[in-house]
Structure 1
């Protein structure tokens, strides 16, 4: 298994960031003007990048994914709850992202076949919730995903390089078109919020909203960072690349769509709707070819994001839940099957409550990421015993905890989600939640993260876990256990950049 280098991570974050064309629509939607939205996006992405850097350290040091590290934090049994919940979330988002990407495939098909594709007769019943032409686009994008199921994450280095490079000219090309078409006249009559409760509160709410697109990636960091050749590559690259490029991409989207909406009298924010509107007005061969290229690059962008944020996460999770029958690659294929089974077009079109649940679910994962960071950097001082993570017996002195559950972590998790939970329930239609509860939900991710980040070390200070006691008795210094051996095999990364498969080593030695 070849490791990822620092340049690879830089181009990885670069490519993901340039897929955030419509991130600014969330900012504009809650009432910020265009320049306020740009500032808030930069701040939110910097906070996200810092959290990602911290949550990558354990993975880069021990080359363990999220399921294994969740055993460290929540116990051999407790980890199944948090891994299983993330697997469900990842599978649903996988299907939804696949459906969203199909919109760009539809752009390409229309650019090729013209209005004959757009006006294609629908042969599906109304109960299907999707028209024939959109189903064709979905199936094509599904087939493209299928091809990537044959690869492991470390084998996709060239793909992420390709994705990062081709996104830039497409994003800038569409932006330049919008500026030329409108003469650079940006619509300044965007909706403004009445910040009656104070601009400070309103800005914090906006920052929390801006972090929505990074909430999953923060928790998923171990699955991406475990392939790193060095300890610092994922974290440093995310802080250097993600805030600037994400802000740049979102800014181009804000300015371009604000300009085009002002001239054409539309309310477009999604790039696929913008490309459709352009073809409505410019249907010649030249514009259609340009639209095809732009749609192609955005399709590749969504594909890369879906692989990184959802497919890898799901495959990693189910390989822990049923390791005897499912490895990571088989998990990828299972995600493909579920992508059709969840009928994402119906979720997107009718289940408003369910999509609200998915959007708010990030606050539940925020506490997980916070506890993972606190456990590694504060309570165990960067020490993990990898061999014991694959020992399910009750005699596991490090990670069996209380009947398989780390109660201290569970308590810190419940404390973290308690404050924003009433507001979350209110977003699902539960009555009786006051304004204060709804405002706390607006701070969902930030609130849950910092409450759990503080509460877990405090609980462990007065009630330490068994492995924390053992580490103190052993007198381990910072990350000292990463320098030891597992049955005579060095845990670290070999000089040629090859990552040892710890689980395989332990099984073979046993």
Structure 2
């Protein structure tokens, strides 16, 4: 059941200084709830169909590091299983947004406290900003190649500045401006962009796969990897599990903050249908088209490419080149807005609602993404592993603790008014605005998650692809232990000193 609406004006009466709310963080109204099943499906289409996910699937096929090249069969089955798990996780986190109408930083106040919620929001925001910059850079490579083919003189813009040639800077800044313009126009603009881009990108991707297969004389094997080998059954089984772990880890960010989008859904059915079509069906099909392109490239060019930019540069058919380049650019803009831009804007706005609106948060995200020079991050495995890898490892405990608290201990009982109340008597004020039980549960879970992600010893390296499956359940378990030791009953916590009416405390399950 959905919560009764709580307007910004009502919230403002209890928080006139806007310490916890602005219009962007306020619960979605009925008029805002226009993201139907297709809108959420197109969100996942944009999230899947992009250069980085092509690279991910192609890299599995080719083989990276100590991992042997996977067969198309292993990749498709692994992605299918992974996206079924992600579907369940996004429905859990999405229902929090649907029921309350609030974005993820506000929903997490239920568990972390009205001030403590800034901690997971800031960590999520840093990850989002860094990956926003990286995704923009990846898309800018395709745009740079496209512009060079249209304007050959741009090939002479080779003077490097902070590690990137001038033509690359031009493409990067142009894409940043386009993304900012879309988000500046609000979530409705995001919805319309994705609704139009999703099917167009699918047509382009299917067309590219068919064209590559035709160039390879329709030669394709489900059970052979890029080296022409068929791994043993036991090896393929392990590779399927690795694919599951890596795919789930790739989408750990959206699993945590899917409330940012589900809050705009008009019905629960819209959330379930959009996620079902967009995840198991859509993601698996995209992984298949990516692997087909890579397998066909082996036949056509004698090698597989895990960087779509390298493959694009080999295409001598101008029509195919232009269509595929535009498709990758539009798709990567779509995933960037969904997975990184929107979330970073909400996370930054939550830090200081009075001074940072959703739009200002978006501008800050763009500026910060340039400051970190994402092309240098992308080109540094150490930076990805130790900086982004360590922050990403923390998303598992955040998810586990939030789900355990919201569904098991709070039983989906949310006092919507107190989510936006800075008063010490509020249900989510806890101890100075922090839920110290959540902090106590997070510390051991985070230590283990960081060890699994970063410590280079044989045993931990073997389970590193499954770090989310270790971290999320461990976070939930640690929270249960802390709550049990402190003898905290279910649906119990600091209660507002005011009398709560039926409209204020809402049974949402």
**With structure 1 as the length reference, what TM-score do the two structures score?**
0.83
**SS of the counterpart of 2:281?**
helix
Cα distance in 1 for partners of 2:112, 2:231 equals 43
Report the CA distance shift for 1:199/1:401 in structure 2 as closer, same or farther (over 3 A): farther
Matches within 5 A, 1:373-384: 373-384=403-414
Unaligned runs of 5+ residues in structure 2 are 1-30
Q: Which deviates more, 54-63 or 335-344?
A: 335-344
Show CA shifts across 1:432-479 (max 9, x none).
Answer: x532222333321111112223342343345355883259999xxxxx
Alignment match of 1:355 (pick from 356, 359, 384): 384
Show CA shifts across 1:15-39 (max 9, x none).
Answer: 3233343332343323222211111
Partner of 2:477: 454
Matched, 1:100 2:138: yes
Matched, 1:17 2:56: no
Matches within 5 A, 1:141-180: 141-180=175-214
Alignment match of 2:492 (pick from 448, 463, 469): 469
- Asked if structure 2 preserves the Cα contact closer than 8 Å seen for 1:220 and 1:313, the reply is yes
**SS of the counterpart of 1:14?**
helix
Alignment match of 2:338 (pick from 285, 308, 311): 308
Q: Which deviates more, 262-271 or 240-249?
A: 262-271
Cα distance in 2 for partners of 1:143, 1:248 equals 31
- Asked if structure 1 preserves the Cα contact closer than 8 Å seen for 2:397 and 2:475, the reply is yes
Matches within 5 A, 1:44-193: 44-113=82-151, 115-117=152-154, 119-124=155-160, 128-186=162-220, 188-190=224-226
Give RMSD over aligned pairs.
2.9
Count of residue correspondences: 464
- Asked if structure 2 preserves the Cα contact closer than 8 Å seen for 1:362 and 1:445, the reply is no
Partner of 2:27: none
Alignment match of 1:385 (pick from 415, 440, 444): 415
Partner of 1:276: 313
Partner of 1:414: 443
Report the CA distance shift for 1:196/1:301 in structure 2 as closer, same or farther (over 3 A): closer
Report the CA distance shift for 1:362/1:139 in structure 2 as closer, same or farther (over 3 A): same
Residue 9 of structure 1, CA deviation: 1.5
Cα distance in 2 for partners of 1:67, 1:383 equals 18
Unaligned runs of 5+ residues in structure 1 are 427-432, 475-480, 493-510
Alignment match of 1:333 (pick from 341, 363, 373): 363
Matched, 1:215 2:252: yes
- Asked if structure 2 preserves the Cα contact closer than 8 Å seen for 1:25 and 1:254, the reply is yes
Show CA shifts across 1:44-93 (max 9, x none).
Answer: 11111111111111110110111111111111232122111111111111
Report the CA distance shift for 1:241/1:464 in structure 2 as closer, same or farther (over 3 A): farther
**With structure 2 as the length reference, what TM-score do the two structures score?**
0.83
Report the CA distance shift for 1:467/1:37 in structure 2 as closer, same or farther (over 3 A): closer
- Asked if structure 2 preserves the Cα contact closer than 8 Å seen for 1:420 and 1:444, the reply is yes
Partner of 1:344: 374
Partner of 2:270: 233
Cα distance in 2 for partners of 1:121, 1:11 equals 37
Cα distance in 1 for partners of 2:71, 2:115 equals 48
Report the CA distance shift for 1:202/1:157 in structure 2 as closer, same or farther (over 3 A): closer
